[in-house]
Amino acid sequence: MREPQLVGTSLKSIRVDKDKVSRALPVASRAEQGLVKLVRGTWIADFLDEATAFPNGSHDDQIDSISGAFGMLKEPRKIFYA
């Protein structure tokens, strides 16, 4: 209700079976290899602050999001409906 552009969009949670750090490791590994690219935007500084403070920072929502998205991309046969 706070985001008018999301009205009518169905969201479904995904079940997790590991802790946050374990879920973030595959993305961190790819980033260390230079395989993660960031799109230019005003959000980058906040994202990098959160990523470098993880897992001891006060926020981890963006890291949870990128870890979840990466996990979804690893499953090409699974269809995720919006």
Structure tokens at 31: 């980033």
At 38 the pLDDT is 93
Please say if the pLDDT value at position 60 is more than 70: yes
The pLDDT assigned to 76 comes to: 67
Longest dimension (CA), the chain: 40
Residue 66 and residue 27 in contact, taking contact as beta carbons nearer than 8 Å:
yes
Reported confidence tier of residue 79, pLDDT bands at 50, 70, 90: low
* Residue 55 banded pLDDT, cuts 50, 70, 90: very high
